[in-house]
Amino acid sequence: MRNIIRLAIAIGIIAVVVYAALALLGFAIRVVLPIAILAFIAYMIYVLVTGRRPNF
C-alpha cells in the first residue's frame, strides 16, 4: 500500500514538472524567439550597411 502512495506522489510531481517545462517552452517560443529573430535581422543589416562585423 505504501508503494502505491509513493508511486502516486512521484507521478504527481513528474506531472507538475512536465507542465512547468511546457509552460516555460511556450513562453520561450512566444517571447524569446521573436526577439532573437529581430536581433539577428538587426545584426545582418548592420553588417550589410557597415561592411564589417561588430566587436563585442
pLDDT digits (tens, 9 = 90+) for 19-51: 999 999 998 899 999 999 999 999 999 999 998
SS (H, E, C) 14-41: HHHHHHHHHHHHHHHHHHHHHHHHHHHH
pTM for the structure as a whole = 0.56
Does residue 53 have a pLDDT over 90? no
Nearest to 38 by CA among 50, 48, 46: 46
Q: In the chain, where are the structural domains located? A: 1-55
What is the CA angle 16-19-37, rounded to 5?
145
